[in-house]
Structure 1
């Protein structure tokens, strides 16, 4: 069995200074992570923040600048970045087109909850 979850561009939600669609809740998905499709409009930047989770960003469309702990780096479609817990980060779109990426984050609690759900579902 499989289920395709469609991106609903007409109903993206504003979070952290960008438009996004969260992966969860999705009842059929039992995963040790969370995620969101993110769209950063031209001239915008996401809200700088840090958190306890590990995170990766997968650049899907366009280009932007990634700022991590004050260090800037170009970030373009096809690139993947790994962010350590506690790193202060934001994405800046200085271009004329939308920049789109997928963010995935996880921590030990999410992993433990996943394992418990997995064990329960295999009984």
Structure 2
């Protein structure tokens, strides 16, 4: 059965200096990853951070800069970036309009839990 989740712009939650909507919890979805729709308001930047997960960002709307370990890169709608574990990163929106991207992250633990749920549901 197909289930479509709508983006609820009126109820985005703050995290890491931006507003977002997390992918999980979603009872019908069994995935080996987590994700979030992210909105970085005009003239702001996300909180610099690093973590052990692998991560990709998919730029959906607008233009910003991605700062990875102190090196800046243009990041515009249509771009996809891979962030390896341990890098310190933030997104900087110096523009006059909001920037939107989708972030997806995963690690070995998420994969193992996915496989266990998959096996359980297959029985």
TM exceeds 0.5? yes
SS at match of 2:49: coil
Deviation at 1:43, TM superposition (A): 0.5
Deviation at 1:80, TM superposition (A): 0.2
Q: For residues 48 and 8 of structure 2, what CA distance do their matches in structure 1 show?
A: 25
TM-score by length of structure 1 reads: 0.99
Work out the CA distance in 1 between the residues paired with 2:26 and 2:54: 21
Three-state SS of the structure 2 residue aligned to 1:3 is coil
Give the aligned CA root-mean-square deviation in angstroms: 0.3
| Superposed counterparts of 1:25-64, under 5 Å | 25-64=25-64
Gaps of 5+ in 1: none
After superposition, the C-alpha distances for 1:32-71 in whole angstroms (9 at most, x for unaligned) are: 0000000000100000000000000000000000000000
Match of 1:85 in 2: 85
TM-score for both structures, normalised by structure 2: 0.99
Unaligned runs of 5+ in 2: none
C-alpha offsets along residues 3-39 of structure 1, whole Å, 9 cap, x if unaligned? 0000000000010000000000000000000000000
1:77 & 1:27 partners in 2: Cα distance?
30
Q: How many residues align?
A: 123
Structure 1 residue runs of 4 or more that deviate by more than 2 Å after TM superposition:
none
